[in-house]
Each structure stands twice: as structure tokens, then as C-alpha cells.
Structure 1
Amino acid sequence: MASKKSLHLYICMFIGIIAISFSAIIVKWSEAPASILGMYRLLLTNLLLLPWMWSYREEWKAVRVNDWLRLAASGLFLGIHFLLWMESLRYTSVSSSTVILTLEPVLILIASYWLFQHRIKRSAIYGLGLALIGMVLIGWGDFQLSGQALYGDLLSVLGTIAVVIHMLLGQDLRSRVTSYVYNFSVFLVAGVSLAVYNLCAGIALGGYSSNEWLLFVLMAVIPTVLGHMLFNWLLKYLSATSISMSILGEPVGASLLAWILLGETLGTLQLFACVLLILGVWIFLRNDRPSTASHHAASQPISPQ
């Protein structure tokens, strides 16, 4: 019975990986500005979460003023992440953009070393070195293709830094704020922040085709609800290490989907660089102290892409 239950859980993890892999594909399909796509993804996700708000009324009341400020800051950086990462896909390939995002746990744990004195094993540092070499090679390969692709890679790197700040702000919050309250709050702030950005930039909030609205809904349902929220639920039953490793499945799934659905292909150098970066992150996660990774992953939700 136990093994059967474990099989079901890993099937759910596989579904989650496929779901988050569709995020980049949907961005590529959409012709709407990245800030519009990100805004409606977040706000529509909040709409889906709205029916459960009353059940958490006591948790809402218990949030302290300082925590509201931290939630607002975390949501702001999440909005910046969506803006930069989705925009990166207008310039570079799905593979390059999503592989660069796998640096997120590496950057988080490096920041944790400086902020919280979490030690990093030497073997994990070797993995970090491989990952950074892979990232440089991705940039070099894309630069050889076009300056635009390199610009897209830079946007993805900046988007990854933004989501790392979002996660670090959330790390302390999740010890006091429930997952529902945290997700709803930061999604709302991020969505409203993108709405303000769109208004200031003169980008129309409406007038999009029915096909675009369908893509907005799919972004909320597939990568967010069936992807990252499913991972948050799985944290109750699977180890944090297993969930952390699932982030390495996204660039693989996204690249395969991009090949099948978008006709994107990888050059030899790009393919080698992607494999090197993923291998480096895998080595890093495998050799980082379990207590650090477990505490971090269990204290906050998996960040959305």
C-alpha cells in the first residue's frame, strides 16, 4: 500500500513538472505584452483562490504590520521576476531562458551562506562552478547566434535574481504566515504592481482576443495551480530534496515541448552548456547540507515560473 501511495505521489510530481514546463510555451504562443500576460496570470490565480479566503479569516487577522510590509516587498519582486523572465522569452530560446532559471536554488543557498551563515560543502561548490560555466557558455552560444538572444539571457538572469530576493523575503514569513495567505498576498501585490506598470507604460489592459484570454487562463491553471501549487502540496508527503530536484525537470520538459510545439532546436554548444548547467545544479543540490535545504524548502512555497 505504501509503495502504491508513493507511486501516486511521484506521478503527481511528474504532472507538476510537465505543467510548469508549459509556462514558457504559453508565453511563446501569446502575442500580448509580457507584463499583461504576467498580470492576468497572477490576478486570475487569485480569482481561483478566492473561494477559500473566508476559511483563513483568522490567519489574515493574525498577520502583523511588519509582515504586511514584507509580503508587499516579496510580491513586488515576484512581479519584477515575471516581467523580466517572460520578456526574456521574446528574445531568447525556451531552453536558454528556463535553464538559466535553474540557478535559483544555487543563488538562494549562496545568499543563505552570507545572510544566515549556512555552510556549503566543497563538493557543492564544484557543482556551482559547473553551473556557472554552463551559464557562461549559454550566453556565449546565444551571442554567436544574435545579440538579441544574449539580451534575453540577461533578462532571464535578472529575473532569476528578482525571484531569489522574493524567496528570501518569504523564507522568514512562511514560519508565521500560512501558505494560502502568503501565496494570495504576494500574487495580489505582484499582479497589482504589473497593472500599475502597464498603466504607467501606456499598455492597454483590455482589448485582447479570445485566444489571448484563453492563454491568460491557461497560464493561471496549468503552470501555477497544476504546477507550483501541486509541488507545495507534495511537500507534505515527499522530502524537500525530491521537490528541489524537480526544478531540474522544467528546462528538460520545456525544451522538449519547444522542440515539438515550436520547432526550436539546440546547437551543439547550447546543448552541451544546458547539460553542464543542469548537471552542476544537480551536484550542488545533492551535496548541499540536507538540513539547510530541507529547512528552506519546507518553510516556503516553490517559486512560480
Structure 2
Amino acid sequence: MNPSYLLVLLGVAMVSYSGPLVKVGLNFGANPASIAMMRMALSAVILLPIMCVRRKGQTEAPIVSLKRMTVKQWLWSVLASVFLALHYLTWMTSLDATSTFASVALVCTQPLFVAALSGIVLKEKMPKDARLGAIVAVVGALLIGMNSIAGMSGDITGDLLALAGAIMMAGHWLCNRYARRTVEALPFMLLLYTQTALLLALTLPFLGGFRMTWMALLAVAGLAVGCTLLGHSMFTLALGKVSATVVSFALLGEPVGAMLWSMVMFGEIPTPLLFVGGSVTIIGLVLYLMGSMGMMRKKQ
């Protein structure tokens, strides 16, 4: 197997246990706000020394590129951090109310909300070739909701929170388009993680205070190192050898990976309706990506 494809597979395996690890933290007594804040804070602490070192062939340390940000870019980065904080709060809270598979499948619908928000804010129309996929994904999401309403597993509140998490992440990506124009990726990630951790810390007095146990902290460390840093780093490394299309489609394996991890760790067996709904959602997202990328190739 091509080593780059192996990196992609390992990246999917790592990001797919994000949901299960959050659930581990919740089961050991931590609350969503504390888990989210510690995940961002630990990620920032790990990245900081790396960003302050000038590597061979570089004229400056990567963190220096943050100086080139304009006031407007800083404001956009703060707004992006607000959306990222809200994403973590809503999505992680959803894991306390619905199954891991349902939560991750629904939060992965964020590309549809990016398209919807782009249409509203930027007047960018959704590609015609992608509309069928969007409709199929929405049908899948409705099936997941029906599963919860029928009381088969989970709660409709958890499903709605997961969808809210997808919307918040869509807002985050749109803000990033304006904020990260003259800054390298990793220093900008450091900025986002730091700002998001501070924002989440401000919410703690209103969301049950700081609640963290040693076992939950181990799960958070796994989130920061395994999912946030190593998982996404593998995708970044793979992008030098494989196309962004491959990575985009590979990421759709996250709900499947989350389901498998949850079956092993928590004995969460999806009901037939939930399995069908999640599968239809993923198929819809695949069709949506194929349609969007096909339209991009036509324009080129």
C-alpha cells in the first residue's frame, strides 16, 4: 500500500475515536465545557514550543507570521474561535444524550451547512450536481431523528445539538476563510486553540464550573494528542502525496470508525433505523462531495 494512503487511514482511525473519548470523559465525571477547554488548552500548549523554533531553511519561527495579521483578520479569528467553542459545547453535550454514531454522523453534515451559509452570506449557489447528495443526506438525518423520536435509542435533543454543532463548525470554517490569508496553518491553529480555550474558560461559571477527574483528563489528553494534533497532522502530511479529494472522502469514514469504537468500548449497537439513517447520511455526503468536486473540475 502507498504509505500516504496508510497515513490517511491512520488519520481516520485517530479522529474517529474523538466521539468515544469524549464519552469516556463524560462517563468519568467531566462536563462538556471542561473537556472542550482542556482539549484546546493542551493542544495549544503542545503546539507553542514547536511554533517558536525556527527550522532549517526558514528565515523566522512560524509563530512570527501572526504579526502579519491585520486587525480585521484578528477580529475574524476571534469570531472563528467563538464558533469553534460553540461547536465543541453543542456537539460534546449531544454525546451525553444520543448515540455516538448518530452524533458523529450528524455533526459530519457540516459541508451542507457551509454551502447553505455561503449561499446566504456570500451569495454562492450550491452546485446543481451536489443538490441530490444534499437531499439524500437530509433524508438520512431525518431518519436518525425518527429513530430518537420513536424512543429506539438516544434522544432528539442530542440529535438537534449535534446538528447545531455542525452549523457552528460551518460558521467557523467561513470565518477562517477571511482570517487566515497571510498566516501559516499551524501558527493560526495555535492562535485558534488558545482563543477558543480562553472563551470556553469564560463559560465555565455558567455551565457547571470546572469538572475534571484524572481518568477524564487521560481521555482529554488522548483527544488533544491523538485526535487534534496527530490525526489532523497525518492528513496534512498525506496532502503532499494524495489529493484533497481523497482526504475529504476518507474523513467520511469518521462516523463508521466512531460506531466501531463505540461498539467495542460501550457496547453501543445501532438500531436498524439508526444504522440506515447514518448510512444514508454518509452516502448523501459522498454524493454531495462528488457533485461539488465535479463542478470544480468543469470550471477548470
8 Å contact 2:33–2:204 — kept in the other structure?
yes
Normalised to the residue count of structure 2, the TM-score between the two structures is 0.89
Question: 1:272 & 1:147 partners in 2: Cα distance?
Answer: 13
Q: In structure 2, what is the equivalent of residue 20 of structure 1?
A: 15
> C-alpha offsets along residues 192-250 of structure 1, whole Å, 9 cap, x if unaligned?
11111013445136xx4321221121110111112123223333332121111122100
Counterpart of 1:196 in 2: which secondary structure?
Answer: helix
Q: Which amino acid aligns with 2:133?
A: G
1:150 partnered with 2:148: no
Deviates more, 1:10-19 or 1:110-119: 110-119
Q: In structure 1, what is the equivalent of residue 193 of structure 2?
A: 187
1:107 partnered with 2:102: no
Instruction: Kindly state the Cα deviation for residue 66 of structure 1 after the two structures are TM-superposed.
Output: 1.1
Residue 8 (structure 1) aligned to one of 3, 21, 24: 3
Residue 291 (structure 2) aligned to one of 255, 269, 287: 287
Instruction: Kindly state the Cα deviation for residue 272 of structure 1 after the two structures are TM-superposed.
Output: 1.0
1:217 partnered with 2:221: yes
Question: 1:263 & 1:202 partners in 2: Cα distance?
Answer: 29
Instruction: Kindly state the Cα deviation for residue 159 of structure 1 after the two structures are TM-superposed.
Output: 0.8
> C-alpha offsets along residues 10-54 of structure 1, whole Å, 9 cap, x if unaligned?
100001101011111111111300110111000000011011232
| Residue ranges of structure 1 left out of the alignment (5+ in a row) | 294-305
Instruction: Kindly state the Cα deviation for residue 119 of structure 1 after the two structures are TM-superposed.
Output: 4.4
Shift in CA distance, 147/255, structure 1 to aligned 2, threshold 3 Å: closer
Question: 1:239 & 1:214 partners in 2: Cα distance?
Answer: 34
- Map 1:121-136 to 2 at 5 A: 121-136=127-142
Q: Which amino acid aligns with 2:107?
A: L
8 Å contact 2:12–2:254 — kept in the other structure?
yes
Q: In structure 1, what is the equivalent of residue 266 of structure 2?
A: 262
Residue 34 (structure 2) aligned to one of 33, 36, 39: 36
Instruction: Kindly state the Cα deviation for residue 185 of structure 1 after the two structures are TM-superposed.
Output: 1.1
> C-alpha offsets along residues 243-294 of structure 1, whole Å, 9 cap, x if unaligned?
111221000000011111110011111111111111111001011145759x
Q: Which amino acid aligns with 1:234?
A: A
8 Å contact 1:15–1:226 — kept in the other structure?
no
1:67 partnered with 2:65: no
| Residue ranges of structure 2 left out of the alignment (5+ in a row) | 53-60
Counterpart of 1:170 in 2: which secondary structure?
Answer: helix
8 Å contact 2:94–2:161 — kept in the other structure?
yes
Question: 2:119 & 2:276 partners in 1: Cα distance?
Answer: 29
Q: In structure 1, what is the equivalent of residue 58 of structure 2?
A: none
Question: 2:203 & 2:164 partners in 1: Cα distance?
Answer: 18
Normalised to the residue count of structure 1, the TM-score between the two structures is 0.88
Question: 2:198 & 2:126 partners in 1: Cα distance?
Answer: 37
Q: In structure 1, what is the equivalent of residue 232 of structure 2?
A: 228
Question: 1:198 & 1:19 partners in 2: Cα distance?
Answer: 28
Q: In structure 2, what is the equivalent of residue 56 of structure 1?
A: 62
Instruction: Kindly state the Cα deviation for residue 117 of structure 1 after the two structures are TM-superposed.
Output: 4.7
8 Å contact 1:120–1:289 — kept in the other structure?
no
Question: 2:143 & 2:216 partners in 1: Cα distance?
Answer: 35
Instruction: Kindly state the Cα deviation for residue 109 of structure 1 after the two structures are TM-superposed.
Output: 2.6
Identity across the alignment (%)? 27
Residue 47 (structure 1) aligned to one of 45, 48, 51: 45
C-alpha root-mean-square deviation of aligned residues, in Å?
Answer: 2.1
